[in-house]
Structure 1
């Protein structure tokens, strides 16, 4: 049976990818620093940042789905001044390079890399790091695919929750279409096994909404009452900050429906 290795398989997107693969009856191995608890996959311990465990993890692997990334903003759920000047590259650049090299040695048949929509004009350091990793994939002699996705709902939720203490929220008016990780996982898994290669259709959410509208829907769903101060951004500045609209495949789950499904108050009530 063909074996699929998923890097980043314990992250939000990675978990959904693993779920889809298992549901489809595929043999899955997850590469992670610490083995998880689920018993329907194989676990391979290692670290892309150092290369530890890669050779063993790729043994008998046919397909690699690289969903690993290291975003300080996503991990802490907020932006700090340092994020405008630097972002770690050990996973997304050096780690991607190590993984590509090891895949070549292991004769992996297909390498699928998950990236972000709008990197070419984005100026934030994390975006530049992601673009550098992409370029390594594009230059690789491997048989590769590249899927760019819009930012995820869970990250937008985390960032907006960090504003809850402010009485006034300054929010850009630019359009945006974030997406749920479950929809991205469906698209990624389809692209991994449909026989096509190269740059694939990017994926975003089903609605093009102004960030002001996204913030208002968040406040309504979380029962918050904060004044929103709309801020106009030029198109160039918006693109530089990663605020774009994807024109590829569209996910199905809306922002409003995602907020309802992930309401911490409702979840707490059902668990009593």
Structure 2
């Protein structure tokens, strides 16, 4: 039995990773800001982090926030892992962090580099966007009478449970460095994804493509966040939409 710490263990991905590892008979500690007994704010660090990491062999680092602080959080986690003698740190990242100049992507890439230079055994997995995120975006856009879509943008959404399966597998293996990316089964245009969402939700909206300026959107239109050669996911967006949403 391996003792494993999952940061962000109450989130969309972390919760599933925790379930997979516990089903395998492993002791899993869940670290998040409000989850006792390991309620820790990674951005602040502190003694609670050392207590959470003590005796841990593997860390799966799922905690992340687009609002900022990921680099500081990673620094605190790495320092605690060194003190505790953790043998393996697994990190979930995003396809295209080195190609699409979004602020959040730059931060994810910086965290990757911190982990690579940490002196710890490490594994980094990059995936495309989860179905859940695409749904949230479309739900927000559909609040208007006209559904405004980024012109020329495509996506390759993946089922989060498949990513959880892969992360759990990586956590139980040895440090592997940067492993092969995971992409969803299909590269889809945003109008295509929007029509699938509208059919599933029973809504009617007119679609309007809007060309967005800037280097980040240009890189995205060029497919910097896609990995069609690694379309290893199985679940489609339509299959995700057909499931009851918790």
- Asked whether the two chains share a fold, i.e. TM above 0.5, the reply is yes
Q: Is it true that 1:245 corresponds to 2:237 in the alignment?
A: no
TM-score normalised to structure 2 length: 0.90
Alignment-derived partner of residue 205 in structure 1: 184
Matched pairs, number: 241
What is the RMSD computed on CA atoms of the aligned residues? 2.2
Alignment-derived partner of residue 270 in structure 1: none
SS in 1 for 2:92: strand
Structure 1 contact 7–30 (Cα < 8 Å) conserved: yes
Deviations 1:117-138 (A, max 9, x none): 1011222211111111111112
Distance 1:222 1:238 in 2: 30
Distance 2:145 2:30 in 1: 43
Alignment-derived partner of residue 229 in structure 1: 208
Residue in structure 1 matching 2:45, options 31, 47, 51: 51
Of 47-56 and 120-129, the range deviating more from structure 2: 120-129
Structure 2 contact 121–175 (Cα < 8 Å) conserved: no
User: Shift of residue 244 of structure 1?
Assistant: 2.6
Structure 1 contact 206–250 (Cα < 8 Å) conserved: yes
Of 4-13 and 116-125, the range deviating more from structure 2: 116-125
Distance 1:159 1:27 in 2: 35
1:1-272, aligned counterparts within 5 Å? 1-35=1-35, 43-52=37-46, 53-72=48-67, 88=68, 90=69, 92-171=70-149, 172-231=151-210, 237-240=217-220, 244-246=225-227, 247-248=229-230, 250-262=232-244
SS in 1 for 2:169: helix
Distance 1:59 1:112 in 2: 17
Distance 1:220 1:263 in 2: 16
SS in 2 for 1:170: strand
Q: Which runs of 5+ in 1 are unaligned?
A: 37-42, 73-87, 265-272
Structure 1 contact 173–212 (Cα < 8 Å) conserved: no
Structure 1 contact 18–28 (Cα < 8 Å) conserved: yes
Distance 1:214 1:15 in 2: 26
Distance 2:154 2:193 in 1: 10
Distance 2:54 2:245 in 1: 41
